[in-house]
Amino acid sequence: MRIIEGKNPVIEALRSDTQIDTILVNREASASLRKIIELAKAKKVPVKNVDKAHLDRISENKRHQGIIAEAMEYEYKEIDHILNYAKSKGEMPFVVILDEITDVHNLGSIIRSAECLGAHGVIIPKRRAAQINGVVAKSSAGAIEYLPVCRVTNINDAIKELKEKGLWIYGADMDGDKYIYEEKYTVPVGLVIGSEGSGIGRLVKKNCDILIKIPMKGNINSLNASNAASIVIYEIMKQRSL
């Protein structure tokens, strides 16, 4: 069972094809959640009034805003699903590849930016990395209900598969060869974002076609992983929109 917490994530889950078993609502706040309750009833999803203490007990991030949806476990997609999603939109593939992002808030934020800015999917490793849970759903503001997320055993193997299918792999690295605005992204793109502490792994970096960097002007020369991802994803989207 997967927990989806908060107003926006629950709304997006209801609007998408997510299979929801039950929605739990704080009986003391049900009036303020009336629109969500009406949407749930329209979707024929059972709504149950419970005490706030019950929501607090099952909450994963303790910021449920008085509402939690109990849904089926997240269904990870395959790489081909992401590529087919791009094809269905008539667009060149744009895949975000996360190399051992361990913070669930960063994972959720990156998924949110990727969905908002036109990426077609995210790839994460099965081990030594954050996985989809209620905190990720909350941090993504419901974006995980729309953007395919693929979980793979080996990131390097996934990169090789993407290359075989025509994608150019760009690695975001503070010691990159080019600034992000110096490269043209008018090709199928795979963008690698490294872990919060050590960045992109040595072997993963070796498998990238081009390493790109964000221009820095301040006294601090590094960015949070999700912030860095948002900047690079935006640059790719901007170029493709021109």
27-60 pLDDT, tens digit each: 887 777 888 999 999 999 999 999 999 999 999 8
d(CA 220, CA 136): 27
Q: State pLDDT tens for residues 138-168.
A: 899 889 999 999 999 999 999 999 999 999 9
Mean pLDDT, the chain, integer: 93
- pLDDT less than 50: residues of the chain: none
Total domains in the fold of the chain: 2
- Among residues 177, 175, 168, 82, the alpha carbon closest in space to that of 123 is found at 82
* Nearest-angstrom CA–CA distance, 235 and 181: 7
Q: Name the domain boundary from 19, 45, 71.
A: 71
Nearest to 139 by CA among 130, 126, 128: 130
Is there a single domain that holds both residue 123 and residue 194? Answer: yes
Among 71, 87, 115, the domain boundary falls at: 71
pLDDT at residue 88, rounded to an integer = 97
Asked if 117 and 154 sit in the same domain, the reply is: yes
What confidence score (pLDDT) does residue 86 get?
97
Q: Indicate the SS3 state at residue 195.
A: strand
The CATH number of the domain holding residue 133 is: 3.40.1280.10
pTM: 0.85
d(CA 183, CA 222): 21
List the domain range (segments joined by +) for residue 235.
79-241
Answer yes or no: do 133 and 227 share one domain: yes
- Same domain? For 138 and 181 the reply is yes
